[in-house]
Structures are given as C-alpha cells and as structure tokens.
Amino acid sequence: MQYWFNLYRANLKVSIASMLQYRFTILIWAVWGFVGPLISLAVWTAVSAARGGAIVNKASGASFGARDFSAYFLVYMIFSHLMMSWDAFEFAFRIQNGQLSPALLKPVHPIHRDASSNIAFKLTTSAMLLPVWILLFVLLKPNIHLTFESILAIPALLLGGALRYVLQYSLASIAFWTTRVEAINQLYFSLDSFLAGRIAPLALMPLWVVGIATYSPFRAMGSFPVELALGHLPADQILPGFALQIVWLVVAAGLFKALWRSGIRQYSSVGA
C-alpha cells in the first residue's frame, strides 16, 4: 500500500511539473472538452426555440426546457472532463515509433505512469478551467436543483472515470496487433456519442437507443453521473446503475489483463 502511495505521489509530482511547464499547450487540449457539449447545447437550444418552449419526448414523457439543456450540458461538460481519457488515441503512436519499449523496461506497468499523468492533467486543467466553468454557469443560468442524491454523483464519477480509463487502455492495446487504430477509435467515439448521452440527453432519444444505452458501459461512464447529479434518475434506477458500473469495471479490467498479456507477446517494437 505504502509502495503504491509513494509511486503515485512521485509520478504525480513529475507529471504536474511537466503539465505546468506546458500550460498553454494542455489548456488548448482541454478546451476540446468545451466544444462538444457547447455545440450540443447550441443545437438543442435552437430546437427548443424553434418549438417555442419545452421539448417533450412522447415515448418517455421526459421534458426539457432551454435551461434544463444548459444544466445538462454544463454538468456533462465538467463531468466528462473529469472522466476523460486519451490513451486509446495516444498509445498507437507510442507503438508505431517505439516509445513503448523503454516504458516496458521499468519495473512497474506503464499504465501507472499514464494514470498519474491522467490525474495530473485533470488536476491542473480543472484549476485553470474553474473560472470559465463558473462564468458559464452565471451566463447560461442552468436549471439545477440539488437533492440529497446528488452527492451520489461523486462515487459515480470516480467509478465512471476508472471505467473509462481501463476500457480505453484495453482499446489501446488492440494497437499491438493492428498498429492503425483510427477506425476502432472512431467506432468507440460514435458509440460514445449516442450511448453516453453526449449528443442529446438519453431521455430524448428513441426508446430502443435508451434500452441499449442503459446496459452499455457508455452510459455508466457518461451520462449516469450527470443524471444522478441533476436528479433525473428515479430512485429505483440508482442502485442498478452503480451495480452496472462495477460489473463493467470488472469486465474491463479482465479484458485489459487478457489483451495486454497476449499483446505484449505480439509486440515487436517497431522502429527501435
């Protein structure tokens, strides 16, 4: 325990120092997190303006007004920043140019250093983005009523972040076989857009999409914490939601272990 604590503390220190060195660079990457949710918000605000009021999904009975959309997409923006992971996109480059080889020589699994740099990125950029988030809340006047259940969003956020991280790392290990991962990543991104409620709140989607989303890992690491924080979830869906997060986390960890073990045998260190 002490060992892991020291390991992560040392890694975090190094990562944070290097993030602060390149603060402008990482800030520009972090701004990507604004783009998606704010575009979705603009689209749905325009739709509700065209309808002249709240949008009601006849199939599910859910209703969203302009300020409900602001609440949903603002909270989504912050939560998805806190749960984000980019390893699936970066790992293939490391395999292509042989950068992975030195990392493999170290006595600890490379995932730990990457996880530290993920946490460091979130800590440093969240501190930088906090004023912008507050400003957006003031400007967009979201309709938020915090309830007691909103606190549960914190463990849901942590589980969701862990799930996304492990799942993306498994996806990244596919690069051991294929080297090119654009198509796989795009598939992941497409599924994530719909099933994680990134493009629209799930409550406004066709029922069959919601059905798939509910059992998919994407909702568990996407809109589930957001819906929890905003009190959109009926009480009887909270516990099953957490159970699904844990089940998917276990599955993802198993998948990662299996993929990594056979992948590392496959690895022939290109370019080194």
Partner 1 sequence: MRYLKLLGVLYRTSIQTDMEYRVDFFTRLVASLLGLLTTIGGLSIAYGYTSTLKDWTYPQVLVLVAVYYLMDGLTEMFIAPNMRNVMSQVREGTLDFVLIKPVNAQFLTSFRTVVIWRAANIVVGILLTLYSVGRLGNHVGLVQALSFAVTMAGGCAVVYSLWLVLVTLTFWFVRVDNIEQIVWQAFEAARYPIEIYPAWLRGGLTYIVPVAFIITIPAQALSGRAHQLPLIVSVVIGGFSLAAATLFWRVGLKNYTGASA
Footprint of partner 1 (CB under 8 A)? 24-25, 28-29, 31-32, 35-36, 39-40, 42-47, 50-51, 55, 180, 182-183, 185-187, 189-190, 193-194, 199-200, 204-206
Measured from the CB of residue 163, what is the shortest distance to partner 1 in angstroms?
21
What are the φ and ψ backbone dihedral angles of 56, each rounded to 5 degrees? Answer: -115, 125
Rg (C-alpha) for the chain, rounded Å, is 20
Q: Which is nearer to partner 1, 30 or 226 (CB)?
A: 30
Query: Where do runs of H (alpha helix) occur along the chain?
Result: 2-21, 23-51, 66-83, 87-96, 100-105, 110-140, 153-173, 175-178, 182-195, 207-215, 217-220, 223-230, 238-266
Q: Which is nearer to partner 1, 197 or 217 (CB)?
A: 197
Measured from the CB of residue 185, what is the shortest distance to partner 1 in angstroms?
8
User: How far apart are alpha carbons 98 and 266 in whole angstroms?
Assistant: 14
Measured from the CB of residue 250, what is the shortest distance to partner 1 in angstroms?
28
Cα 97 from chain centre: 27
Measured from the CB of residue 243, what is the shortest distance to partner 1 in angstroms?
28
Q: Which is nearer to partner 1, 44 or 260 (CB)?
A: 44
Q: Which is nearer to partner 1, 86 or 242 (CB)?
A: 86
Q: Which is nearer to partner 1, 5 or 24 (CB)?
A: 24
Q: Which is nearer to partner 1, 51 or 261 (CB)?
A: 51
| 196: nearest Cα among 236, 226, 172, 167 | 226
**Distances, alpha carbon 126 to alpha carbons 129, 133, 175, in Å:** 5, 9, 30
User: How far apart are alpha carbons 264 and 173 in whole angstroms?
Assistant: 9
Measured from the CB of residue 223, what is the shortest distance to partner 1 in angstroms?
14
